[in-house]
Chains A and B, each alone.
Chain A
Amino acid sequence: MTKKTGISVPEGYFAHLETRLQSIPGREVKPTVIQKVSPWLAYAASLAVLAGLGNFIFGRAAATEEEMGLDYISYLSQSLDPDGQIELMETPALTEEDDIRSYLIASNISVEHLNELDYEEDY
Chain B
Amino acid sequence: METLEQVFNDIVKKYSERLYWHVRRMVGTHEDADDLLQDIFLKIWTALPSFRGEAQLYTWVWRIATNETLNWLRREKVRAALRFQRVDEELERRIMADPYFNGTDAQRELFKALARLPQKQRQVFVMRWWDELTYEEISAITGTSVGALKASYHIAQEKLKLNLSQAEVSK
Contacts and interface: CB of A to CB of B under 8 A. Distances in A.
Nearest to B101: A7
21 contacts: A1-B110, A2-B107, A3-B129, A5-B103, A5-B107, A5-B111, A6-B103, A8-B30, A8-B100, A10-B30, A10-B100, A14-B20, A17-B16, A18-B16, A21-B12, A21-B38, A21-B41, A22-B9, A24-B42, A25-B8, A27-B42
B122 interface: no
Contact of A17 (B17, B25, B164): B17
Interface string B110-130: 110000000000000000011
A14 B17 contact: yes
Nearest to A17: B16
Interface of A is mostly: loop
B94 interface: no
A9 B46 contact: no
Interface in B12-27: 12-13, 16-17, 20, 24-25
Interface of B: 4-5, 8-9, 12-13, 16-17, 20, 24-25, 30, 37-38, 41-42, 45-46, 98, 100-104, 106-108, 110-111, 129-130, 160-161, 164
A29 interface: yes
Interface of B is mostly: helix
B41 A4 contact: no
Interface in A15-34: 17-18, 20-22, 24-25, 27, 29
Given A17-B16, A17-B20, A24 B45 contact: yes
A29 B46 contact: yes
Interface residues of A, number: 20
Contacts of A1: 110, 129, 160-161, 164
A6 B12 contact: no
A4 B160 CA distance: 15
5 cross-chain pairs, A with B, having the tightest CB-CB distances, nearest first? A6-B103, A6-B107, A21-B12, A21-B41, A8-B100
A2 B16 CA distance: 24
Contacts of B9: 22
A6 B16 CA distance: 20
Contact of B103 (A7, A10, A25): A7
Nearest to A24: B45
Contacts of B16: 14, 17-18, 21
B59 to A, nearest CB: 20
